[in-house]
Amino acid sequence: MLGAATMILCCAALAAQDAPVPAPGTFLVAKRSLGDPNFIQTVILVVQYSKSSAMGLVINDPSDIPMSKLFSGIKGGKENASVLYFGGPVQRTGAQALLRAKAKPDEARHVFEDVYVTGSSALLEKTIESGAKPDAFRVYLGYSGWGPGQLDREIEAGAWHVVKGDAGAVFDANPGSVWERMIRRAQVRYALLRFR
């Protein structure tokens, strides 16, 4: 009986931590029923949100393209075996990065905790040259974007769970498992909210 009570308290704590609305630093977790082929089983980190637009990066869609393919002309780039990620279906010819840092890097925008986003080629090059590892630096081709009110309508229509972000999940060593873990977390939260 004590085990069940402990589990309920843990689940309640998780539910309390989840954010009910999209904002920078929240995850959009695709619901099981989401049929859009661009977003099936995706987890998107929201990096910008306002009434006029929203933007995010899919954190769990690694490509088979090595970073060395895109950055071979940069010191340390040719040897970089990390892979590029697909950030979303918009402008896949452009690159952006998420990085972890103790202090805000120049030419980067704070997202949440110690996570920053940048599209600056100078900062990308500097970070690659420094030998940054995948647990603190990832490069994304394209992004996920929404026009005025579009994301809110999709959430209201039941396409997404909105969950509080977690920097560890953004840079998870096993990105293929992130959606399954996040969808379970979101469903626990939803179940608890229904029975309040």
pLDDT digits (tens, 9 = 90+) for 50-95: 989 999 999 999 999 998 888 888 887 778 889 999 999 999 988 9
Per-residue model confidence (pLDDT) at position 191: 55
Euclidean distance between CA atoms 103 and 110, whole angstroms: 10
Q: What is the mean pLDDT of residues 12-17?
A: 43
Euclidean distance between CA atoms 88 and 141, whole angstroms: 7
3-class SS of residue 33: coil
Question: 2-194: which CATH topology?
Answer: VC0467-like (3.40.1740)
Q: Which residue has the higher pLDDT, 83 or 195?
A: 83
pLDDT digits (tens, 9 = 90+) for 97-147: 999 999 999 999 999 999 999 999 999 999 999 999 999 999 999 999 999
The secondary element (H helix, E strand) that includes residue 28 is strand 26-30
3-class SS of residue 72: coil
| Pairing verdict, β 115-118 and 160-164 | unpaired
> Which pair of tokens denotes residue 24?
């920078």
Domain boundaries, the chain: 2-194
pLDDT digits (tens, 9 = 90+) for 153-166: 999 999 999 999 99
Query: How many residues are present in the chain?
Result: 196
